[in-house]
Amino acid sequence: MPRGQCGGQGWWHGKFRGCGYRMTLGREAILDVLSKAEGHLSAEDIYIKIHSRYPNVGLTTIYRTLDVLSDVGMVYKLDFGDGRARYEFAEGPKGVHHHHHLVCTECHKIIDYTDFIDDEVELLNQTEKGLGQKYKFKITNHLIQFYGVCQECSDKK
Amino acid sequence: MPRGQCGGQGWWHGKFRGCGYRMTLGREAILDVLSKAEGHLSAEDIYIKIHSRYPNVGLTTIYRTLDVLSDVGMVYKLDFGDGRARYEFAEGPKGVHHHHHLVCTECHKIIDYTDFIDDEVELLNQTEKGLGQKYKFKITNHLIQFYGVCQECSDKK
DNA sequence: CTATTATTGGAAATCATTTCCATTATTAGG
DNA sequence: CCTAATAATGGAAATGATTTCCAATAATAG
Ligand SMILES: [Mn+2]
Ligand SMILES: [Mn+2]
Ligand SMILES: [Zn+2]
Ligand SMILES: [Zn+2]
């Protein structure tokens, strides 16, 4: 297992430590999986992905870590209505890959879309500002999801 | 208990029956509570509100009914991150009171806002159309929530 | 290297939601 | 109004994701 090779082992290392948390093997593994994952992983998904290489990282730790990461804002916790929380890496404070979701209510397929995002985000920023002032909220985040039925599910009828 | 008095007993009666469901006391009670409720009720909230007058409507029925109502689109099922689903009446296909949510991540206070809604909704409609075409989705609904910290919670620091 | 203390894993507890199934109630049709 | 067909119900038990507990372990400052 090569170490150094740059600034360390993932840019998040610093951010995480900076928040006063200790960096552990398990946490690193979780962060690593999340940062590379395509989809939207559940705690168990992560457990499974990690388990072969880190057999001694327990599910409990995964839940705990996800909570922390979520608090710190490094990970988004999402609910797509399939009975378990799903997590996705937040890459940066509002990284290049900011996107929203299209959710099929039949088969729970999720599509990340970035189309139209620019207009949306612009409007959202305004709204955020307005709402923040009016309701004295310190707004930190937003969630946008469209629900519908995907083509495959439509065809099945 | 007066009956008639107009078109029947709540405009939803028809809509519900129209979908092929039987109208029962329990269902009527649930619909009634939801249509008058201010906040965002959980299944148990509803159970409690109903129980004194309808002691023989069980929690199971409430869950089942909420599922149905949610499927039919008469009720929105929401997740505010407090570990239980919350429901709100949808009044009409996209009634006058369409609103979005501002969620305090500390105390879970929820604010319904309608400010800025017009612009939002307009943009959303466009986006819906665009997304629907591009991804072949039949979009039926959207969810928008802003997360942040309310004033009271900010002050507590 | 040590002391301090955050973190961990695993078993058990929680708790919202579902499942089961025998019983009951609604409704269309006569 | 009556009846058959079957949708709906409730309560107990099952489920299953997430939490809680606590003794053991590991990360980190100095
Ligand atoms: Mn995504
Ligand atoms: Mn609301
Ligand atoms: Zn689908
Ligand atoms: Zn608050």
Q: Is the CB of A26 under 7 A from strand C?
A: yes
Query: In which band, very low, low, confident or very high, does the pLDDT at A76 lie, cut at 50, 70 and 90?
Result: very high
**Boundary of a domain, candidates B49, B72, B90:** B90
Predicted confidence (pLDDT) per residue in A54-65, tens digit: 999 999 999 999
The predicted pLDDT at position A95 comes to 59
- What is the spatial distance between Cα A28 and Cα A50, in angstroms, rounded to a whole number? 11
Q: Which residue has the tokens 């916790």?
A: A77
Please tell me the total count of domains within chain B.
2
Predicted confidence (pLDDT) per residue in B123-140, tens digit: 888 999 999 999 999 999
Shared domain check, B78 and B44: yes
The mean pLDDT value for B47-68 works out to: 97
**Boundary of a domain, candidates B38, B57, B90:** B90
Shared domain check, A111 and A77: no
Shared domain check, A4 and A71: yes
Distances (CA, A) of A10 to A38, A91, B59: 17, 11, 48
Shared domain check, B63 and B114: no
The predicted pLDDT at position B56 comes to 95
If one compares A12 and A147, the residue with the highest pLDDT of the two is A147
pLDDT at residue A157 tops 70 = no
Shared domain check, B150 and B114: yes
The mean pLDDT value for A101-130 works out to: 89
**Residues in Cβ contact with B34 at an 8 Å cutoff, skipping those fewer than 6 apart:** B41, B46, B69, B75, B87, B88, B89
Shared domain check, B104 and B122: yes
All residues with CB under 5 Å from ion ligand 4: B 104, 106-107, 109, 150, 153
If one compares A11 and B1, the residue with the highest pLDDT of the two is A11
Shared domain check, A73 and A126: no
Shared domain check, A102 and A83: no
Q: Is the CB of A84 under 7 A from strand C?
A: no
Å from CA of A26 to ligand 2 middle: 39
Shared domain check, A130 and A82: no
The predicted pLDDT at position B7 comes to 38
A4 CA, C5 C1': Å apart: 28
pLDDT at residue B27 tops 90 = yes
Shared domain check, A20 and A83: yes
The predicted pLDDT at position B49 comes to 97
- CATH number where B129 lies: 3.30.1490.190
The mean pLDDT value for A131-156 works out to: 92
Distance from A24 to chain B by nearest Cα, in Å? 27
Q: Is the CB of B42 under 7 A from strand C?
A: yes
If one compares A27 and B155, the residue with the highest pLDDT of the two is A27
| Percent share of chain B, pLDDT over 90 | 67
Instruction: Give me the amino acid identity at A57.
Output: V
**Boundary of a domain, candidates A61, A90, A119:** A90
Question: Which residues of chain A have a Cβ shorter than 8 Å from any chain B Cβ?
Answer: 77, 79, 81, 102, 104-105, 111, 113, 115-116, 119-120, 123, 126-128, 130-132, 134-151, 154
Domain residues for the domain of B142 are 98-157
Predicted confidence (pLDDT) per residue in A6-49, tens digit: 334 667 888 899 999 999 999 999 999 999 998 899 999 999 99
Nucleotide nearest A66, CA–C1', reads D18
Shared domain check, B72 and B8: yes
Closest B-chain CA to A80 = B79
From chain B, the residues in CB contact with A130 under 8 A are 115-116
Distances (CA, A) of A81 to A70, A84, A110, B62, B85: 19, 8, 11, 18, 10
- What is the spatial distance between Cα A67 and Cα A84, in angstroms, rounded to a whole number? 14
Within 13 Å of residue B120, how many CA atoms lie on the same side as its CB? 22
Mean pLDDT of chain A: 88
Predicted confidence (pLDDT) per residue in B96-110, tens digit: 678 999 999 988 999
B38 CA, D10 C1': Å apart: 28
What's the whole-model pTM score? 0.88
- What is the spatial distance between Cα A108 and Cα A99, in angstroms, rounded to a whole number? 18
All residues with CB under 5 Å from ion ligand 3: A 104, 106-107, 109, 150, 153
Shared domain check, B77 and B25: yes
- CATH number where A55 lies: 1.10.10.10
